[in-house]
């Protein structure tokens, strides 16, 4: 449903639904100490019937909804592109974000308001195209500001070695 809403231009509604559902799943997990097979449609509790410690479809809210909607990360591995739609003003990030056969460390600094351009940092082993978006208004019609064509460039010197022994390169977003 969330992808459908986004496809037809209802990004804000999709985000509201995703955040609400994610918050409910986290609240139930905090109270019960487990994820459940399913959740009630009209209240914040496990569904009936529902098995505890069931990590099937219920694995989507704490992982996919968090990454794709709360953090706004939308990967397109075949095109080597990551759309990053930054909606929050709080600092956020993901370590070891899986992108095809490699992973990236992604960080976004806190901002004073959603219209201010996000300052992001991307660390990874290969070049990656970043399409950065944020919740400002560019044309008065409600469309988000978009800065497409960012390219993560690899520096010549490594910044260290990760646990797997592969070199990590500092990335510059231009």
Most confident range (mean pLDDT) of 50-59, 93-102, 136-145, 157-166 is 93-102
Question: Do 87 and 152 fall into the same domain?
Answer: yes
d(CA 165, CA 79): 27
For residue 118, pLDDT beyond 80: yes
User: Domain boundary at 19, 35, 66, which?
Assistant: 66
Using DSSP's 3-state secondary structure scheme, residue 91 falls into coil
d(CA 161, CA 170): 12
d(CA 140, CA 144): 10
Question: Can you give the pTM of this predicted structure?
Answer: 0.71
pLDDT in tens, 17-54: 888 888 888 888 889 888 887 777 778 887 788 888 77
Neighbours of 160 (CB within 10 A): 9
The arithmetic mean of pLDDT across residues 133-150, rounded, is: 54
Asked if 37 and 58 count as a contact pair (C-beta separation under 8 A), the reply is yes
For 126, the domain range is 71-174
Question: Do 31 and 94 fall into the same domain?
Answer: no
């Amino acid at each position: 449903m969330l992808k459908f809403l986004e496809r037809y231009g209802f990004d804000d509604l999709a985000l509201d639904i995703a955040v609400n559902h994610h918050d409910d799943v986290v609240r139930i997990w905090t109270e019960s100490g487990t994820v459940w097979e399913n959740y009630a449609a009209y209240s914040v509790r496990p569904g009936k019937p529902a098995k505890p410690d069931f990590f099937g479809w219920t694995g989507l809210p704490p992982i996919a909804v968090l990454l794709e909607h709360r953090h706004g990360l939308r990967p397109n591995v075949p095109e080597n592109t990551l759309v990053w739609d930054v909606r929050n003003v709080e600092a956020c990030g993901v370590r070891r974000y899986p992108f095809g056969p490699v992973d990236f460390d992604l960080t976004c600094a806190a901002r004073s308001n959603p219209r201010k351009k996000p300052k992001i940092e991307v660390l990874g082993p290969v070049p990656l195209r970043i399409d950065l978006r944020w919740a400002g208004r560019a044309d008065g019609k409600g469309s988000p500001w978009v800065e497409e064509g960012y390219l993560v460039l690899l520096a010549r010197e490594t910044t260290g070695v990760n646990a797997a022994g592969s070199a990590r390169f500092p990335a510059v977003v231009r």
